[in-house]
A and B are shown apart, each in its own frame.
Chain A
Amino acid sequence: MLGYLLGIPLMILLAVLQSSVVSEITLLEGQLDLILVTTVAWSLAGRSKDAMVLGLIGGLLLDLLSGMPFGSTAIIYVGVLFLTSLLEGQFWGGHLLLPPAITLLASLLVYSYQLGMLYILGRQVSLAYALPRVVLPSTLLNILFALPVYHLLTSLFHRLFPAEVQI
């Protein structure tokens, strides 16, 4: 419950920051996806169920602040976070390179899905243009932020949710 109390206002704040601030700071035409990076890190930090619910809420908020159909981003976020949750409990789950690697895969999945969605909606889509100008720069920004966000959340969770012993 504490996870949602913390996570839902955080999702609202991140969505607003994404629209007002982050969207102005671009690399070529790519931009950091704060909600994706945060929810993936949230899941990798050991709270995968919370992360899926927050992915739904964050995705809906992003759809609200975008021209994308309401609910469309939420679908892929939940899907990606479910796949991320499958890593929970693996012995290599704490590897240093895991957050950037998973963020890389998650970003590519999300942007491919969004391009596909735009194509279905009948908008002009050019992979030759979108890949170097939008997808790869955005993915790079997401990877750069993956590790700091993961460590921030991990240390926060250690304080908020002390390790439980299952008997």
Chain B
Amino acid sequence: MNRLRQRTFLAIALILVAIGFLILSVAGFLQPVETTILRPVSGVQTWIAVRYNAIRDLLRSPSDITELRQENARLEAEVARLQQEIINLREQATEAEILAALLNYARSQPDNRYTAANVIGRDVSPFLRSIWIGAGSEQDIAQGMPVVTERGLVGRVAEVFATTARIQLITDPEASVNVEFQTSRADGSLSAQLSGELWVELIPQDVEILVNELVLTSGLGGNFPADIPIGSVLSVRRRDVDIFQQAVIEPSVSFTDLDIVLVITNFQPLPFDQVQ
């Protein structure tokens, strides 16, 4: 009986401690403590993540085709870069036409500045879709900054600590991105389903959306820069009784194989809470 009482007191005390941490955290008082704890933890995390990724890659491919794989990776990167260039050029051409029509050549788009960061972990909760990167406020990463790879949009910075940051992926149901279709120029709002499937909603009914059409960020709303590729149209759901049509998107980024990402550091986003 005495032991049970001791255990009960201990459990109550520990739960009260946890509740205390929860309250302090919600009030924002624990940020320095979390940063201090995360600094050594992220070091270990980076060390393990780099080695785990190397072992994973090694196990995935037979050793005799390693060179071919490296060459293939280089060529894939080159293709991705060229695809990005084509997208940019097409965008520039379309934009140029519109701008010419409007006699407005004055608009200029500043070049993005990037900070590369290793993906050092994923959210430990299976219910959330976010990743951890090995760069934080010491590398000038700030909350709300967009995160991309050479293939397209990954997400945006949700939480920042000194040496790490948590990135909310665009496949998280809480994420929302304003997008436009490259050919039809229609606007819409990208949101992820609980299954991780990406849908573009709020597309006007009078626009013809083509399968395989590229979907880019529109820049509307101020949470992402314009013209970052997101993916291509997989299928379109259009019913006459609805006000809007929907499109299912196949993302250009493979979210399961993220090793390195780029954070766009010169983009001034709206405050994260405001966007949420």
* Interface, chain A (partner B; CB < 8 A): 12-13, 15-21, 23-24, 26, 29-31, 48-49, 52-53, 55-56, 59-62, 64-75, 78-79, 81-82, 85-86, 88-89, 114-115, 118, 123-126, 129-130, 133-134, 138
Set B18, B26, B130: member contacting A60, Cβ < 8 A = B18
* Interface, chain B (partner A; CB < 8 A): 3-4, 6-8, 10-11, 14-15, 17-23, 25-26, 30, 34, 37-38, 41, 44-45, 48-49, 52, 56, 120-128, 130, 132, 158-159, 166, 168, 173-174, 194-195, 256
Residues of B within 8 A of A19 (CB): 45, 120-124, 132
The residue in A20, A59, A78, A82 that gathers the most chain B C-beta atoms within 10 A of its C-beta is A20
Find out whether the CB atom of B34 lies under 8 angstroms from the CB atom of A20: no
Residues of B within 8 A of A52 (CB): 7, 10-11, 14
Residues of B within 8 A of A72 (CB): 18, 22
A88 to B168, CA, bound (A): 42
A12 to B47, CA, bound (A): 14
A-B interface, 9 closest residue pairs, ranked by CB to CB distance from nearest: A71-B22, A19-B121, A71-B21, A70-B25, A82-B11, A74-B18, A23-B122, A20-B49, A124-B173
Residues of B within 8 A of A75 (CB): 15, 18-19, 22
A115 and B48 contact, Cβ closer than 8 Å, known pairs A24-B122, A49-B7, A72-B22: no
Classify the secondary structure of B's interface with A: helix
A162 to B26, CA, bound (A): 43
Residues of A within 8 A of B52 (CB): 20-21, 24
Set B7, B26, B174: member contacting A123, Cβ < 8 A = B174
A73 to B34, CA, bound (A): 15
Give, as a whole number of angstroms, the nearest-CB distance from A8 to chain B. 12
Residue of chain A at shortest CB distance from B192: A124
12 more contacts with CB within 8 A, not counting A78-B15, A82-B11, are A12-B44, A16-B45, A23-B121, A49-B7, A61-B41, A65-B124, A66-B123, A70-B34, A72-B18, A114-B125, A123-B174, A124-B173
Give, as a whole number of angstroms, the nearest-CB distance from A6 to chain B. 17
Residues of B within 8 A of A26 (CB): 126
A149 to B11, CA, bound (A): 23
Residues of B within 8 A of A56 (CB): 14, 17-18
Give, as a whole number of angstroms, the nearest-CB distance from B15 to chain A. 5
